[in-house]
Amino acid sequence: MSHLFSPWQIGQLDLDNRVVIAPMAQYAARDGSAGDWHALHLGRLALAGAGLLILEATAVLPEGRVTPADLGLYCDDNEEALGRVLKMARAYSPVKVAIQLGHGGRKASSQVPWQGGQQIRSNQPEGWRGVAPSPLPHGPEEEAPIELDSQGMARVIDGFVAAARRAARLGIDGIEIHAAHGYLLHEYLSPLSNQRTDAYGGSLENRMRFPLEVFDAVRAAFPEERPVWVRVSATDWVDGGWNIESTIRFAQALKARGCAAIHVSTGGVSPLQKIAPAPGYQVGFAEKIRAGTGLPTIAVGLITEPEQAEAIVAQGQADAVALGRGVLYDPHWPWHAAAVLGAQVDAPPQYWRSQPSRYKALFRGARIGMR
């Protein structure tokens, strides 16, 4: 039996397999609201056969959007629009759906990638001033963010809580809190971006304080039976920055608060990062966090081949694997992986006839010999 296609759980959430579709920003929202593109995109991914689909990074406040086209869940219009998309996807797919909630911090107010991805200054059309733990710009030529005071941090927590409650009303199965890739919560964790001298800066315990407060607030606002977990950058790839030892300490603190899993990525807080990507280059971090905490981990990053994904799970390096770009390129990657590994996936009956004869057991519940 395939390890990758064996059932597992995040908290109390039962999943049919260990293939996760990673959150991938689409930069296609209007004022934070999902539209026709999301219906097409998420509808396609919902039919992929993965065990879990994580919706793209979703801003909890308007100023928390990384670009003006980011998805949000900070108002009634956002909630209603996303509800329409989810209703369509659920009508034809049993996939479990989670949402990644986040805040862009000092990396907010940027162009979409295909327009260059550069910062939009607050005095430019569609621009606004970012916020951060310290008034340090992400890049040397960028506008410095506003340092969050106690009221600003309370507003951020309130935004996370309100978004979590909206997610609960939408019937979303789980929440992933975005504390990676140089966005606001990662900015608090990393000494490269957090130079505060109050209770939220300096020592590791102080730098973890605000992200842990956000986790506690989200966990309390979301139904107890539905899991909440965190995506982290396990290293900044910069000397003197956030590292794997600090990540394990953070994950241990999260576990004590009821965190259900850790989704392990790296980098993003500094343009000085030195990364040499290679197949599975982040998997070792997931393995160390899993060993150091006992928490389920999701590995991600240049995992492209079925045999590679199978080995990661079979060898206990991670409990699941997440795919991003690979699923954009091949939306039926889970089908193809299941075929290679001798497993089964869910697919709508409209697609059953597509299976090659040599994979007659590929689709769960399929009837062969249809007219």
Q: Is the sign of the CA dihedral 14, 19, 24, 29 positive or negative?
A: negative
Q: Is the sign of the CA dihedral 274, 186, 324, 129 positive or negative?
A: negative
**Among residues 26, 81, 28, which one has the least CA distance to residue 57?**
26
Q: Are 161 and 217 in contact (CB under 8 A)?
A: yes
Strands 8-10 and 13-15 turn out to be antiparallel
Q: Which residues fall within 8 angstroms of residue 283, CB to CB, at 6 or more apart?
A: 299, 301, 303, 312, 317, 318
Q: Are 35 and 71 in contact (CB under 8 A)?
A: no
Q: Which residue has the tokens 């040499």?
A: 276
At position 34, the amino acid (one-letter code) is A
What does DSSP assign to residue 148? P
Q: Are 269 and 233 in contact (CB under 8 A)?
A: yes
C-alpha pair distances (Å), 140 with each of 111, 115, 121, 129, 133: 17, 20, 13, 16, 17
Q: Got the DSSP string for 14-71? A: EESSSEEEPP------BTTB--HHHHHHHHHHHTS--SEEEEEEEESSGGG-SSTT--
Catalytic option among 183, 200, 329, 351: 183
188 is known as an active-site residue? no
What does DSSP assign to residue 277? -
Residues marked active site are found at 183
